[in-house]
Structure 1
Amino acid sequence: MNTLTYCNLNASKLVVFCLSLVIFTGCGNVLNDVENLSSYPATGTFDDAATTNAYLSNLYYSTLNGWPVNSGNNADESGGINGEGWITTENTAMKFWPYDAIRKINILLKELPNSPIPADKKDPIIGQAKFLRAFLYFKMVYYHGGVPIIEVPQEVTDDLLVKRNSTAECFDFILKELDEAAALLPPKYDGADRGRIDQASTYAFKGRVLLYKASPQFNSANPYDNAYWSDAYNANKAAKDFLDQHGYGLLDDYTQVFETEGHRENILSVIFEEPAKTNGRQEHAVRPLSESKNATGGDQPIWAFAEAFPMKDGKKPGDPTSEYTYSIQRFWENRDPRFDAIMVWNGATYELSGIAGRRQYTMNVIAKSMDVFGFSIQGETAYRTGLFTRKGIQEALPSAQAELNDVDWPEIRYAEVLFNYAEAANETGRSDESLEVLKAIRRRAGITEGADGLFGLKANMSRAEMRQAILDEKRIEFAFEGQRFWDLRRHRMLHLLDGMHKYGIMATAVNGRTPQNLTADDIAKGNAFELLPEDFTYEVVELITNGPKEMVMPESYYFFPIQLTHINQNSNLEQNVGWGGNFNPEL
C-alpha cells in the first residue's frame, strides 16, 4: 500500500495519528501562520518508522496538491477574466505564506536525527522533508521574492518578528536544501513507493528552480544575458542525462500521459486512488454541467487558445505554406493531434458517463440548456466558451461519480525537463539543442515531419524566435497543467494579457437554420447525437459574462504583495516595491 496515497499504513492506530496531524496546529502566529506554538507531536512519534512515515505522508499532503483547475483563467487558456482589483494587499488572491507546514517540516528535521530508527530508513525521510521545505520556499519566492528563512520550529519564547531574507539568500537556501536532499535519497522510487521524492525528482526540480532564478522576472535589468542562465543550462542538462540513464522519457502517445499511471514520463506524481484519495482533477468542475454534479465551468478553452494549435504539418492555421487549408467553419480539421486529445468542440464525440456515441453540443436549442454558449443559470450569466477539455477526464465515470476521478497529478514530468533544458540551451547559445527538443515534442505529438525534417518549425530561427517557439509549444503541450501564466510572468510578458478580451466559438445555425426556425426533428436529431460539427455554422463571439470584460495585468504583478495581515502583525516584514513598501524582490 502506497504510504503517500494512504495515511493508515494498514494500522488503525495510525489513522487516528494521521488525522491528529492535520489538526494539531492552526493558522495564525509563527510568522503569523501558526496558532499554537506550544503544539508538538507526542513523545516517541519519531522513534518508530511507521509513525514517522505517517507524519511524512501528512507533509506531502499539505505541500503537493492536485490539478490546478482554472489556473488558465489567469492567462490566455480559459475563460475567466481577472479585472481591476484581482490582487490587493488586503485580499488573499495570489498570496502564499505556508509557515504552518514549514514548522511541521522543521519539527521532523529537528527530531529525526536523534531517532533510534536505522540510518538507511531515516536518511531518505530527511531527504524527502528537505525537498518539501525547498518546494514551499520556492513557491513563496516566485510569488513574493525573498521571505524569512526559518529552519527550526519556533517556540513562544523566540523572537517572532523576523525580517525577510533577500531573494538571493532564499535561492541559495533552496538549492542547498535540494543538494542535501539528493545526497540522502535513492536514484528512483517505483513500485509500492511510487510517488515518493527521489533523486530524479530532486534533480528535475532543481532545474526548474534555476530556470526561474535566471529568468527576466528576477533579472529585469539583464533578462537574457545574466550568468544564471549557464547554471540553469548545466542543471537541466544534468537532470535530463540522469533521467535518460534511469529509464525516463516521453511516452509514445500524448493521451496516455494523463490516462495511465506509473509510466516513464512522470517523474514526481501525486497519487490518487479511488476510494482513499480522489478528485485531484476536480472532474466535476471541468465536465459540461449536463454530465456533471454540483459545479462546472472549469478549464473552458477560449478561442485564442484553440487558434494557437498548429495544423497537422506543424504550420500555423492560415499559413499559405501549409499543406492544409484552414477555415473557422472547419476549425477542428487537420490540426495538431493534441487538439483532439485536449479539446472538445460543438458536435465532437465526448462519451461522458459511458454514453456510447455521445456528442457534445453547445448551440442553443440543440444542446442541453446548461451547456449552451452564454446560457443564464439561476439569474447570473455564466460564461461558456463553446469549448470544453477532455484532458485528465475519466469519461466512463457516471455524472454522479465525477468526483471519484483518481487520475494522478504529474507535478513534474519529463516533458517539462525538456522544455527547461531547451530554454536554457537557447539563452546560452545552443539553439540547436533547443530545436532537437521541439522536434522530439512534435514527433511524439503526431505532427508530420515534413520534407525538411523540421515538423513545421521555422529553419534558422534567431534567439528571440526560438524563445517564442519554445513558449508557444509549451503552451499547447502543458494545456491546463498550470504552467502558462507562470511562464508569461517569469518572462515578463504579462503585457500580452493586459487589456485582453476573451472570445469563444458559438454555433449560430444548423444546416442554415437558426434556433428561431429549427424544427422539432432538428432538435430530436441533436439529442440523438446525429448532428456532426460540420452541420453547424460558427461565429467568434466575445464571452458573455456579468463580470469584467478586460484582463488587467499591471507591472506590479511580477511580484505579488505579502498579505497586509502579516505585515500588520510583524513590524519587521517589509512590503514589496510596487505595493507600498521598499523591499526589492529581484536578485
Structure 2
Amino acid sequence: MKKKNIRILSIALITAGVFSSCSDQFLQDKKNYDNANADSYNYYSGALARVADIYMWCLPDANADPSWKYNSTGLADTQAKSTEEYSGFGVFVDPDAELTYQQGNNPVPDYFHGSSGNIQTMVWGRIRNCNDVIRGITNSTLTQEEKSKLLGQVYFFRAWCYYNLVKWYGGVPIIKEVQEIVSGSVVPRSTTKECVDFICEDLDLSAELLAPFTTNGGWTSSDFGRVTSGTALALKGRLLLLYASPVFNRKNDVTRWEKAYEVIGESIATLNACGYGLYNENNPGANASGWANIFSTVEGNSEAVFVTLYNTLASASSADFSKNNAWENGIRPSNTLGGGGKTPSAMLVDMFPMSDGKKPGSTTTYTKLASSEISYDSEAPFLNRDPRFYRTFAFPGVRWKFSGDPRNEKNNNPYNGSEYELWNYVWYTTETDRDNVESGSTYGADNLLGNAKGFYIRKRSDDADVNSPRYRYEAANGFKYSANPYIELRYAEVLLNYAEAACGAGHMDIAVEQLKKIRTRVGYTGDCGLQSNLLSDQAACMAAVLYERQVELAYEGKRFDDLRRWMLFDGGVEKVAGAPDSWTLTGWGGNTCTYLGFTPLNGQRRDNLEFRVNNSNKNGLGGKEWAIGGTNPDPLYGVATRPAAIDLTKDLSTQQTGLKNFYATYLTRKKKKGDAYTSDKGEKYMKFYPKYYLLGLYQGAQNANATLKQTIGWGDYVNGGANGTYDPLAE
C-alpha cells in the first residue's frame, strides 16, 4: 500500500494505544477497565482511533502462526503441515502424539481462550473490545452517518472473531454486551445454529450500515483495506458454506446448501457494487502473469475482499508505524539474500493439473475426475502444467526476477536480480548420503550449498517480471521490508464458495460456470479442461470444485479448513468416543472420500523432492564450499552447459525441451524425507483422530470458566477427565 495509507491508520493506532492500555492490576482489582472514556467517543477522531484498534487486534497477519488470535495464512504452520501443501507432521496428523485437553500432555491448540489476565492476550478480550466500541459509539453524540460508518466495521470484526471460534468448536458463548469482571459474569455455550444465526445477524447489520459508503465503488483510495458491505456478505457466505459442509451437516440437509447458494448468489451483486471482481479477468497475461499480479497489487485490486496491508518502514516512529510482510523474504532462496525458501511437498507438486486442465494420470486421488491425456513426467515435473503451476512453484532452471543485486564477496551467486535464474539442483559429498532419503547433507548450485531446497514455493511472490516490487531490497536485509498485502478472502474464493454451494444444492450448471470463470482468468478457453459429466454427476462436480480450490487457493491458508469441512482425513467413517448416533455420517453414502473419489489422507505420507546430479557425473558427488579463487564444488561445473532458464514472460512451448534434456542428461529425481521415519527407518503415516474435526477445550478455558461444557470426545477438566457432554451438532 502507499505509505500515506498506512500512516493514516497508524496515527489512529497510536492514539488507540492510549485508550486501550490495560494492566493486570485492573483485572486483579476487578476495576472498570473499559478501553476508553465515554466522552472520547463523542469525537470522531477518538471513535475512529478505537475502530483502528479493532483492526490492529483482529486483522489476519501473514507473519503469524495460527493461534487464538490469528488464522492460518499459508506458512508452514501446524495446520498447513497437516495438509498436502507441506510435510512434517503438523500436530493434527502426528501418528505418535494424540492431542489431549491436558496441560503438559500434548495439549490441543487453544483457539478458544488464550491467556488470562489481560484482555489483549485472550480471545474474549477481543470480543469485549468490539462490544466496548459498539457500546461507546452507539451511546455517543456522533451523527448517525458517522455512527453507521464506524459501527459497520466493528460489527464485521465481532462476527469475524466468532467465525474463527465456531469453525473449530461449533457452539460457543454468545456475548453481546460488555460484562463486568465478577464471578457471575459467565455465559454457557450456545448451540452451533444459534452462533451461526448470531454471526449472520452481525454481518447483515455490517453490510447494511456500510452500504451508503461502500456500494458505489468501495472506499476511496485513502481508506483502501477497510471492510465493506461486500466483505461482510462474503464472510457470511463462507460461514453458511461451512455450516452446510459434512462436518456440521452429517445428514446432508440440502436446505443448508440451498441457503448458502441463495445468500452467496445474492451477495455477488453487492460485491460488484463495492468494486470487487476477478482481478485481470480479461488479461491472463503470459503464463498466468495476470493471476500472479493479484498478490502484489493494492490500489485497484478488485480481488482483495478482505485484506491486511503492510509497508516498507524499518521501525516505528512518532509519524508512522512499521509493518512488514515477511512472506517474500521467506520464500526467496538464500543466494538472493532471502530467508532461504519454503519447501512444498512432492504430493502437491505431483497433483497439480496438466496444461489441458485435467489431473495427471499418476495422481491416485480424485478418481472421479478424468485424467489428462498428456503424460506426466515425474523426472521433469515442469513440463506441460496448468499455468498456475509456474506461479506456485520454482524449480531448477527457471527465471525468478527481483529488484536488487545480491552479489558480493561472500555470495558467489552469478546473477543480479534482473537476471536471476534459479538453479537449485543438488549433490552430496558421500555415496552414503547420496543414497539416503533421510540425509540432510545436501549442497546446491550457485552458492546455495547447504541452504538449497529441492523445490521452492513461489506462490504470492512479488515477481519483478510481473509488477513493480513492493519491497525495499537491502544487501543486509534482503526482502525484509516488504509491503505486499495479504488477502484473507478474495473474489475468486467467493466464486468457488458459490460453485460449491450451487453443486450441493443441485445446480451443477452454475457450479461449472464459476469454475470456467476461474480458469478463463489464467488462460483456459472453451470447456477449460472440465469434463462434460460435471453437469450431471453431482459427486464428480463437487470433486472438481474441491480440486479447483486446492489449486487456486494453494498456500493461502485455506486447505486445512477444506479438509476438515469435508472430513477428508478418513471420510467421516471413524467414530468419536461417546458420540450419539446423530454424529454418524449418513449423507454422501456415509463416506465423503468414497463419494468424491478422494483417497483419505490418513494412512498416507508426504515426502519432498529434489533433483540431484546423477551418478553419470562424478557419481553425483561434489564439494561443500566455494572459496574465492578456489575450486567450484559443483560437479557439473565445466561439464554441463546450462540451457536458457524458463522465462515466464515468454511462450513456454519452445522453452521446455532444452531444460528437459538437461534434466535427462545430468539430473535425477530423488525422494527427500518429508514426514518422519521410525528409529528403524520405517515410514510413518498421517493419523488425524476423528475427535479433531470438532475441537475440545484446552483445560485453561474450563479452569477460567467452570460452567463451560467440554466437547464430546474430549476429557472434561472440571469432571476429572470424564468424556465431554457438549454436542456441537445438536440444535
TM-score for both structures, normalised by structure 2: 0.71
Comparing 159-168 with 523-532, greater Cα deviation is found at 523-532
CA contact (8 A) 1:239 1:417 kept: no
Residue deviations 1:387-420, cap 9 Å, x none?
A: 1122223356346142212111112211011011
Q: 1:277 Cα shift?
A: 4.3
Partners of 1:498 and 1:358 in 2: CA distance: 40
Q: Residue 403 of structure 1 corresponds to which residue in structure 2? A: 480
> Deviation per CA, 1:60-99, whole angstroms, max 9, x where unpaired?
1211113312243121112232214374323362523310
Cα distance, 1:249 vs structure 2: 1.8
Summarize the Cα distance change of 1:101–1:542 in structure 2 as closer, same or farther, 3 Å threshold. Answer: same
Partner of 2:201: 176
The structure 2 residue matched to 1:256, chosen from 293, 297, 307, is 293
SS at match of 2:671: strand
- 1:113 is the counterpart of 2:188: no
Please give the alpha-carbon distance, in whole angstroms, between the structure 1 residues aligned to 2:428 and 2:55: 46
Alpha-carbon deviations, 1:303-325, whole Å to 9, x = none?
11112221111122248984643
The aligned residue for residue 157 of structure 2 is: 132
Aligned to 1:40: 34
Match of 1:468 among 543, 568, 592: 543
Per-residue deviation, 1:23:
4.0
CA contact (8 A) 1:422 1:433 kept: yes
Query: 1:350: which partner in 2?
Result: 400
**Aligned match for 1:155, one of 161, 166, 180:** 180
Secondary structure of 1:185's aligned partner = helix
Q: 1:237 aligns with which of 241, 258, 265?
A: 265
State whether structure 2 residue 375 is matched by structure 1 residue 325: yes
Q: 1:270 corresponds to which residue? A: 308
Q: How many residues align?
A: 566
Q: Distance in 2 between matches of 1:27 and 1:510?
A: 66
SS in 2 for 1:328: coil
Change (3 A) 1:296 1:563: farther
Secondary structure class of the residue paired with 1:315: coil
- The structure 1 residue matched to 2:100, chosen from 67, 81, 88, is 88
Q: 1:143-193: per-residue Cα shift (whole Å, max 9, x none)? A: 111111111111123613321111111111111111111221132324111
Aligned residue in 1 for 2:609: 505
Partner of 2:17: 19
Please give the alpha-carbon distance, in whole angstroms, between the structure 1 residues aligned to 2:258 and 2:697.
31
Shift of 1:5: 5.8
Alpha-carbon distance in 1 for matches of 2:202, 2:639: 58
Q: Quick one: distance in 2 between partners of 1:164 and 1:35? A: 27
Return the offset for 1:363: 3.2
Aligned to 1:73: 81
- Structure 2 residue runs of 5 or longer lacking an equivalent are 63-72, 114-122, 281-289, 314-320, 363-369, 405-416, 430-436, 443-449, 465-472, 571-599, 624-631, 646-658, 679-683, 716-723
**1:205, 1:27 → 2: CA distance?**
37
Matched residues in 1 for 2:20 and 2:399: separation?
Answer: 43
Task: Label 1:521 to 1:110 Cα distance change in 2 as closer, same or farther (>3 A).
Answer: closer
1:201 Cα offset (Å): 0.8
The 2-side partners of 1:577 and 1:19 are apart by: 40
After superposition, what is the alpha-carbon deviation per residue over 1:470-528, rounded to whole angstroms, capped at 9, x for unaligned? Answer: 00011010011111110111111122222321122221325942432698574547999
Determine the C-alpha separation between the residues in 2 that align with 1:577 and 1:507.
47
Q: Is the 8 A contact 2:393 2:455 kept in 1?
A: yes
Separation of aligned partners in 2, 1:394 and 1:36: 49
1:539 equivalent to 2:651? Answer no
Trace 1:340-419 onto structure 2 (pairs within 5 A): 340-352=390-402, 354=404, 355-365=417-427, 375=440, 386-394=454-462, 397-398=473-474, 400-419=477-496
Matched-pair contact (CA < 8 Å) for 2:396–2:424: yes
- CA RMSD, Structure 1 to Structure 2 (Å): 3.3
In structure 2, give the amino acid aligned to 1:331.
P
Contact 1:365–1:523 under 8 Å retained in 2:
no
Deviations 1:332-375 (A, max 9, x none): 011111011111112322235632332334333499xxxx9953
**1:357 alignment partner AA:** E
SS of residue paired to 1:356? helix
**CA spacing shift, 1:526–1:49, aligned 2, 3 Å:** farther
Which letter does structure 2 place at the counterpart of 1:375? G
Stretch moving more, 117-126 or 152-161: 152-161
**173 and 421 in structure 1: CA distance in 2 versus 1, 3 angstrom threshold:** same
Structure 2 CA distance, aligned partners of 1:398 and 1:139?
37
How far off its partner does 1:546 sit? Answer: 6.1
Question: Does the aligned pair in 2 maintain the 1:492–1:558 contact within 8 Å?
Answer: yes
Structure 2 counterpart of 1:189: 219
2:708 to 570, 573, 584: 573
Percent of pairs with identical residues: 28
Paired residue type of 1:457: L
Question: Larger radius of gyration, structure 1 or 2?
Answer: 2
In structure 2, distance between residues paired with 1:27 and 1:257? 46
Q: CA deviation at 1:19?
A: 2.9
The 3 A distance-change label for structure 1 pair 546 and 557 is closer
Do the aligned partners of residues 10 and 520 (structure 1) sit closer, same or farther apart at CA in structure 2, a change above 3 Å counting? closer
Paired amino acid for 1:122: K
Q: Which runs of 5+ in 1 are unaligned?
A: none
The answer to whether the Cα contact below 8 Å between 1:289 and 1:296 also exists between their aligned partners in 2 is yes
- Distance, in Å, in 2 between the alignment partners of 1:170 and 1:4 is 38
1:221-257 CA distance string (max 9 Å, x none): x13x432111100011011233234543212321111
Q: Distance in 2 between matches of 1:521 and 1:408?
A: 38
Q: What TM-score does the superposition give when structure 1 sets the normalisation length?
A: 0.87
Distance 1:35 1:554 in 2: 42
**Distance (Å, rounded) in 1 between the aligned partners of 2:237 and 2:31:** 35
Indicate whether 1:306 and 2:349 are aligned: yes
Q: Are the aligned partners of 1:211 and 1:229 in contact in 2 as well (CA < 8 Å)?
A: yes
What amino acid sits opposite 2:612 in the alignment? Answer: T
| Structure 2 residue corresponding to 1:315, chosen from 346, 358, 371 | 358
- For residue 506 of structure 1, give the secondary structure of its aligned residue in structure 2: strand
Is this contact kept in 2: 1:278–1:403, CA < 8 A? Answer: no
Kindly provide the CA deviation profile for residues 38-76 of structure 1, in whole angstroms up to 9, marking residues without a partner as x: 322342221211121111111112111133122431211
Whole-Å separation in 2 of the counterparts to 1:422 and 1:155: 45
Once the 2 structures are TM-superposed, how far is the Cα of residue 384 of structure 1 from its aligned partner? 7.8
* C-alpha distance in structure 2 between counterparts of 1:10 and 1:435, whole Å: 43
Question: Any conservation in 2 of the 1:94–1:560 contact (CA below 8 Å)?
Answer: no
Q: 1:122 to 1:248 in 2, by over 3 A?
A: same
- What secondary structure sits across from 1:465 in the alignment? helix
Aligned counterparts of 2:374 and 2:520: Cα–Cα separation in 1: 18
Aligned to 2:729: 586
